[in-house]
Amino acid sequence: MPKDKVEFYEDKKEEWRWRRTASNGKIVGASTEGYKNKSDCEANARRNGWNG
């Protein structure tokens, strides 16, 4: 069974965000705010189902 892909990136304000993409290419989850630290962003993704 294919797994969702989670990616972390910096937005225009240089804040970290994440988004989860399903195997069919649809975005099925994303951060609602930017984070100054990547570790805070990863913690938010974990609270929303990321197992990384």
CATH classification at residue 39: 3.30.160.160
**Percentage above 90 pLDDT, the chain:** 92
In a domain, 52, yes or no: no
User: Does 40 fall in a domain?
Assistant: yes
> Digits of tens for pLDDT over the chain (52 positions)?
578 999 999 999 999 999 999 999 999 999 999 999 999 999 999 999 999 8
7 and 41 Cβ atoms separated by less than 8 Å: no
So what's the pLDDT on residue 37?
98
Determine, yes or no, domain membership for 39: yes
- Note whether residue 9 is domain-resident: yes
Residue 51: both structure tokens together: 């197992």
Quote the CA–CA distance of 52 and 12 in Å, as a whole number.
25
31 in any annotated domain: yes
The structural domain count of the chain equals: 1
pLDDT given at position 1? 54
Domain range for 22: 5-47
What is the pLDDT at residue 3? 85
Question: What predicted TM-score, i.e. pTM, was given to this entire model?
Answer: 0.89
